[in-house]
Amino acid sequence: VFVSNFVGSEPFAAINLIMPFLMILGAVGFMLGTGGSALVAYTLGAGDEKRANEIFSLLIYVLIGLGLFFTVAGLIFLEPVSRLLGADEVMLPYCVAYGRIILLALVPFMLLNVFQSFLIAAEKPKLGLAFTVAAGFTNIILDAVFVGILKTGTFGAALATGISQCVGGVLPMIYFSAPNKSLLKLEKAKLEMSTVLKACGNGSSELMSNISISVVSIIYNFQLLKYIGE
């Protein structure tokens, strides 16, 4: 809304082109969140709280590692991917400028997704809602300030989104790292690939659902560009 009204049709089109790619990278957070929370909830139900915290911590650390890898890979391939998705010479700078900032906030975005599921497993769903609402309002307010008032264009829109993702992802990280009243807390964990793969298997349907939505959006964008342009 803010970009289309205050910046223009080309930047708005550029954001729509690059967003599915960014969402595909962030979908791993949905996978580990959904699959991992089921595993953690099962372990808590079995009465093994220590093991549940080990699994929870392991999956968060794996997610951060994957997020950093995707961030670097995304930054390297951002321009060619933008071209592949249909960006021309007018839209390409907007795709790259927006995508770079969102990629720098990719780890918090993935944490935002994963913590929503784990906050339910930790019996703190209201806190999860509070973090989500806080992130949403941060995005809206900063969009109004950066894009509507300060006229910073797509850079401001991306910055607003990135900061809001940090609100939704970093605050739960701080909560679980500190002493808290939930069933879960972050602690030391050793790498167990069998546990990671089991969580991935449990959450694979969520991953594919999010990827399929993004792929449909990409195809839809190709058709829009073909018939009506930017």
What is residue 230's predicted lDDT score, i.e. its pLDDT? Answer: 83
- Residue 182 contacts residue 146 (beta carbons within 8 Å): no
- Of 49, 68, 56, 14, the C-alpha closest to 32 is 56
Mean local confidence (pLDDT), 98-102: 96
Express each pLDDT in 10-63 by its tens digit: 999 999 999 999 999 999 888 998 999 999 999 999 999 999 999 999 999 999
- Of 230, 205, 199, 210, the C-alpha closest to 63 is 199
Distance, C-alpha 184 to centroid of its chain: 22
> Can you tell me the distance from the alpha carbon of 8 to that of 14, in angstroms, rounded to the nearest whole number?
10
What is residue 30's predicted lDDT score, i.e. its pLDDT? Answer: 87
The rounded mean pLDDT for the chain is 94
What is residue 29's predicted lDDT score, i.e. its pLDDT? Answer: 86
Whole-prediction pTM: 0.91
What is residue 81's predicted lDDT score, i.e. its pLDDT? Answer: 96
What is residue 123's predicted lDDT score, i.e. its pLDDT? Answer: 92
pLDDT at 157 over 90: yes
> Can you tell me the distance from the alpha carbon of 81 to that of 62, in angstroms, rounded to the nearest whole number?
25
Confidence label for 229 from pLDDT (cuts 50, 70 and 90): confident
